[in-house]
Amino acid sequence: MGEWSEYFEDFPEENPGNWINGKFDPLGAKLQRQREAEFEQADKEANAELRQMIKDAKAKTKARSLLVTEACPQCGLETLNTYRISERFWLCECQDCGIYGKGTTHKQALQHTADALGEGLDWRDDGSLY
Ligand SMILES: [Zn+2]
């Protein structure tokens, strides 16, 4: 790699990175790479901003959808939150041990949570199902 960069310093016209549309233009090629890098950075920032907006919106929906906090089938603590995200999307997440489950009814979500007992699930590591 070092040898190549030294070689290209001595023979810049041999560096394919110095050509644009078949024309030797080291400055133009450099500016083009900078513009592309800036565009990629802006795109990354926009995506990060969008992801954060979605995350915030989901957090608000979750907070609004919290229906009940009850005893967790795994750890036994009164830390199992049940959310009714929509009419047929129920979600249980233990705030202590992390076990979770979802279903189309409250009963089914609780059942799926209980079925996962001992599987080592943690919605904080795995990512929330919502
Ligand atoms: Zn628990």
The answer to whether the Cα torsion of 16, 22, 25, 29 is positive or negative is: negative
> At residue 2, does pLDDT exceed 80?
no
Output the CA 81–ligand 1 centroid distance in Å: 10
User: pLDDT at residue 111 above 90?
Assistant: yes
109-127 mean pLDDT: 96
Distance 121 CA to ligand 1 centre (A): 10
In angstroms, the CA 116 to CA 109 distance is 11
Task: Report d(CA 54, CA 50) in Å as an integer.
Answer: 6
For the four alpha carbons of 108, 79, 75 and 101, in that order, the dihedral sign comes to positive
Question: Within 13-118, where are the H helices?
Answer: 26-65, 106-115
How far, in Å, from the CA of 71 to the mean position of ligand 1?
8
What's the mean pLDDT when you consider all of the chain?
A: 95
Q: CA–CA separation, 31 vs 47, rounded Å?
A: 24
Q: What percent of the chain has pLDDT over 70?
A: 98
- Is residue 50 within 8 A of residue 72, CB to CB? The reply is no
pLDDT at position 3 is 83
pLDDT confidence tier of residue 27, bands split at 50, 70 and 90: very high
Q: Taking the model in full, what pTM does it have?
A: 0.70
